Structure formats: C-alpha cells, structure tokens
Amino acid sequence: MTTDQILAEIRAMLIEIIGSEYALGLDIGMDTSFDSDLQLESIEFVRLATMLADQYGNRVDFLEFLASKELDEIIEMTVGELVTYIANCSALADAIDG
Amino acid sequence: MAEIIARGVRFHVQRLASRHRTSQPEHPVVFIHGLLMDNLSSFYYTLANPVAHAGATVILYDMRGHGLSERLSTGYRVNDSVADLAALLDVLGVDGPVHLVGNSYGGTVALGFAVACPERVASMMLIEAHVPIPGWTEQMAATITNIGSDLTGGELGRWMAQHRKHARSATLVRDMIAHTSLMADIVATEPLAEEALRALTCPVRAVYGEHSDVLHHADVLDGLLSRYTLTVLPDVDHWILPKATQALRAITLEWFTAQASVNA
C-alpha cells in the first residue's frame, strides 16, 4: 500500500468526520495539522481511531501509536505522521506475511 | 464506533482489550467521565490505555447526552446515570464486579452505582468526585447556570464559536442546559444517605486537587468510608485529569496494580 493510497483513505475518513462543508476549503495533505488546520475535537479523534481499526484491522494499532504521546503531542500531530505510521505498520505486516 | 442500546438509549462505547495477559485480573475497569463538557475522550488519551497495558480489560462510554451517545431530553438524574451504567454492563455481558474510575460527576455516578449495586463493584478510584451531600445540588445548579451564561453571551462562548473544535461542544452544552431536564434533574437529586456510604466495603482511592472547589467532599468521604485512601495533589484545582495527568496516571496504575494483586 503506497503512502498516496493511505493518505487518500485518511483524507476520506477525515472528511466524513468533519463534514464535507467544513472540508471544502481545506486541502488535506501530509502537513495538515489535526488541531490548527482541521480543528478536530478530541471525541472526533476517538471516532477516527475506530475508523482506522475498521479499515486496517490488526495491521495498525492506533492506540499503541498514541500511547507513546502525551495529550498535547497528540493534538499537535499532522496527518503525515499518521500516514507514515500506517505505512510502516503495513510494510511490517507485509514482511511478516511474506 | 461501537454503539450499544441500553434502556432504549444509543450509547457510544469503547472497549480496550488487556495488553498484558499474564497479570490480567478478572474484573474489568470501567471509566466514567464528567458532566457537560466532558466525554470518554478525556480518559481515552490519558489513563485508559496505560490501565489496559497493566492488564485490564477497559470499558469507556459516553454518558447519555454526551460525546457520541444519543441525546435525549430527559433522564439526567443521578439514578438514571446509575441505571444506564447497570444496563450497559448487562448488555456487555459483564455480570461480575468491576473496578470503577470516575472523574468529577463520574465519581458521583460511581458512588451511586456502588450504593445501588455493591456486589458489582470491586473497588473505586474517585478523581475529584462530587458527592451528593446537602448543599451539592445548589453548588451544581450555580455551576451549570454559569456555564450556560458563559457559553450563551460570555467571552468564552464567543471564543468557542470561532473555533470549530469547540463550537460543536459549546452548542451541545448550551442545548443540553436549555432543552433537556438536566438542570431540574440535578436539582432534584437526593443526598446520598450517610448510612448507605458507611455500608460500602470496597476499597476507595480518592484523588483531589489542593485548590479544588470540591475538596471538602474528600473529608466527607473520609468520615464515612471504611477503606478509604486520599491523595491531595499540590498546586492544582478541580481539573487534575488534564492538568496533572502524569501524577494521576502513576496513582491510577498503583491503585490498579494493588487491586489486581488482591484479585490474583
């Protein structure tokens, strides 16, 4: 799975969460911030975690990813950090699967 | 999103599996958030995952009207919150005792649940818990009124309206205060009977902030509960979950580890 494919999937999830009306003026890319750009509510972030689990299953452990971060670090994350994490998880899962 | 219907209400529930099975205790840990501006996310990012790592199955839920759970116009008495929790656990198939972690009003619900169903509570951790003692309903009514005023015409409301991440929650809270029975239900809350609290036998760990406006509730509990341990965190007010997260996490893990060793 390429980084572009993952970014497209994450972008679709985020548009569903924040609503297409608010997303209309946003170009969601790797540098987009969950906080200052998307203004994501903390409960919406929980919803994103659920959508990631539905999409990627056991290949991606979002909570484990968050576990190493304090709340302010989570809030300041960019979409790119999440995409990179998922890409690394996918590559690892592929390597294990052979 | 996990949705569960209990008492006819659609609840948003998150379950975290234990990450450390070798010391897994038999009792799940249930987190109960605070009133109005709060939801399960405040625990989701702070205490829930470390507790799951320590060996617990963790259950978090948004109370009715909060977070991603359904908003009904009625049913906001403490007894309703207690009945909601009992029904949720029934639907989840949790019929044995649980450890409860309650923040602020979540602590009120935890205490109410323990009084109503003592056999279903293994232990409690109360964070800045509000205790329905005489005078509490007046304090709560004043707090809710102030929040409503701030959000409706105050500077806070204007600031929140300009930021997407706060505008939605501000609208929800305003709507909850103006268009549900919340205020009337809180005001109608009967104080918890002292003898009911004295009868509780489960261990209770309480944490309050040095500058909390409900610190006197800690002393009330101290005089009534037989197995009670209190920690007062210095230089912090009511908002210890976001402001003193690391200290609270350490206390929570210490509490949970102690409970797990009792259960083992």
- CATH number reported for the structural domain that contains residue B65 in this entry: 3.40.50.1820
- Give the model confidence (pLDDT) of A37-66 as tens digits: 998 988 999 999 999 999 998 888 888 888
- Give the model confidence (pLDDT) of B92-131 as tens digits: 999 999 999 999 999 999 999 999 999 999 999 999 999 9
For residue A77, give both structure tokens: 């994350």
Smallest Cα distance from B70 to chain A, Å: 14
DSSP A12-51: HHHHHHH-HHHHTT----TT-BTTTTT---HHHHHHHHHH
User: What is the number of residues in chain B?
Assistant: 264
Q: Is B62's Cβ below 8 Å from some Cβ in A? A: yes
Residue B141 lies in a domain: no
Residue B264 lies in a domain: no
- Give the model confidence (pLDDT) of B212-243 as tens digits: 999 999 999 999 999 999 999 999 999 999 99
Range ranked top by mean pLDDT from A23-32, B52-61, B189-198, B199-208: B199-208
Q: Decide: helix, strand or coil at residue B190.
A: coil
Smallest Cα distance from B39 to chain A, Å: 7
CA distance B142 to B123: 31
Residue B125 lies in a domain: yes
How many structural domains does chain B have? 1
Q: How far is CA A16 from the centre of its chain?
A: 13
pLDDT of B253 higher than 60:
yes
What's the pLDDT at B21?
A: 62
Per-chain mean pLDDT for chain B: 92
Cβ–Cβ under 8 Å, residues A87 and A95: no
Q: Is A42's Cβ below 8 Å from some Cβ in B? A: yes
What's the pLDDT at B11?
A: 98
Architecture of the domain spanning A3-97: Orthogonal Bundle (1.10)
Cβ–Cβ under 8 Å, residues B247 and B216: no
CA dist list (Å): A51 to A11, A12, A45, A85, B116: 12, 11, 10, 15, 36
CA distance B183 to B26: 38
What's the pLDDT at B263?
A: 64
- Give the model confidence (pLDDT) of B62-76 as tens digits: 999 999 999 999 999
Cβ–Cβ under 8 Å, residues B208 and B230: yes
Residue B147 lies in a domain: no
Q: Is B171's Cβ below 8 Å from some Cβ in A? A: no
Q: Is A63's Cβ below 8 Å from some Cβ in B? A: yes
Interface test with B, best of A17, A34, A42 (most B CBs within 10 A): A42
> Nearest residue on chain A to B50, judged by CA atoms?
A67
What's the pLDDT at B167?
A: 82
**Which residues make Cβ contacts (< 8 Å) with residue B159, sequence separation at least 6?**
B166
What's the pLDDT at A70?
A: 78
Measured between beta carbons, which residues in chain B are less than 8 angstroms from residue A71? 45-46, 242, 245
Give the domain extent around B27: 2-132+193-259
Q: Where do the domains of chain A lie?
A: 3-97
DSSP label at B74? S
Q: Do A42 and B41 touch (CB under 8 A)?
A: yes
- Give the model confidence (pLDDT) of B134-177 as tens digits: 889 999 999 999 888 888 777 777 777 777 778 888 888 889 99
Crossing angle for the helix pair B136-153 and B164-179, nearest 10 degrees? 130
Residue B179 lies in a domain: no
Measured between beta carbons, which residues in chain A are less than 8 angstroms from residue B164? 18, 22, 39
**Which residues make Cβ contacts (< 8 Å) with residue B103, sequence separation at least 6?**
B31, B32, B33, B34, B38, B42, B43, B127, B128, B129, B241
pLDDT of A98 higher than 70:
no
Measured between beta carbons, which residues in chain A are less than 8 angstroms from residue B50? 67
CA distance B129 to B208: 8
For residue A9, give both structure tokens: 């999937």
- Give the model confidence (pLDDT) of B15-65 as tens digits: 998 876 655 557 999 999 999 989 999 999 899 999 998 989 999 999 999
CA distance B260 to B20: 12
Q: Is A95's Cβ below 8 Å from some Cβ in B? A: no
| Between B262 and B207, residue with greater pLDDT | B207
Q: Is A73's Cβ below 8 Å from some Cβ in B? A: no
Q: Is A24's Cβ below 8 Å from some Cβ in B? A: no
